Amino acid sequence: MIGILSAFGAATSWTYACFIWRSQTQKYKSIDINLIKNIIAFLIFIPAFINLSLSSTTELKNIFILLISGIIGIGLGDTFYLKSLQTIGTRKTLSIETLSPLMAALSGEIFINENLTTKSWVGIIIVSISLFIILKKGSVFKWGNSPFSEKNNFKIFAFPFLSVLCAVLGGLFSRMVFLQSNLSPFLTTEIRLLGAIIFLISLKGFKINFFFKNIEKKQQKKFLLSILLGTNIGILLQQVVFKTLPIGLGWALLSTSPVISLFFAKNEEREITKKIIFFTCFLFFGLTLIIL
């Protein structure tokens, strides 16, 4: 039950946060936003290192795996995610993220022997069909000032697909660590953030754009709230999910973001049609089959 509640909590926190982040992607580079939010989140959770132990080779190995998880899942994954928010918007990005249960379940079955039931596969098929229909309704989306158009769908969807791939790989590494260690979700969150920060700073040539000081005070408060919800609380709850649930099941629950995003979508992109609502709910039905 803790894992299920954590998954819905993480999905809600992440959904709200990414609406705030999208407003910043119109002004600043995705990699700069990702780096700053990770640094601030890391500083908030820095007391977690009090319980860090380096007394054995196994613990060092797990820490290394978590650093790699942070590089892939947060460093690369979140950067692709923010770029996707900039180009195609929040709800559509989150809809594509619904592919993560399929990828996570397959990776869990292949690499850590977490097998799927027939009912779970039926649920995944329903999710895939619903997602395909939602994405085919491209004409109802407003692209705003985005340089992308429906004529180059491959470029449009490259960012969210890469985001999904990186997020699932990062989650898989976290799950592997939890299966063989007693590290807390709190500490693993901080180690993953550290990995992401080291990677992004190196990628930037150790040049950090502290754009936060240039934002209006009202926007600063919103940005800090988004970091607390989407990065600190979101990743922490996500780690609880990876610790307590099989990765396929966990990602199925985390992928309820498209349904949650319907509460925010009217403020951002376009009118929500009955057809989109129906197939988004049908998608959620598929996720329910995976859970039960």
For residue 228, give the DSSP letter.
I
* Domain limits, the chain: 2-115+154-271
Q: Which residues of 7-22 are buried (b: 16+ CB within 10 A; e: fewer)?
A: bebbbbbbbbbbbbbb
pLDDT-based confidence at residue 261 (cuts at 50, 70, 90) = low
Contact assessment for residue 248 and residue 291, using Cβ atoms and an 8 Å cutoff: no
Greater model confidence, 275 or 231: 231
Report residue 218 as tokens.
Answer: 């009202």
For residue 149, give the DSSP letter.
-
For residue 207, give the DSSP letter.
-
Greater model confidence, 66 or 54: 66
Report residue 183 as tokens.
Answer: 């590290």
Mean pLDDT, rounded, for 161-180: 93
Q: What is the structure's pLDDT at 120?
A: 79
Greater model confidence, 227 or 153: 227
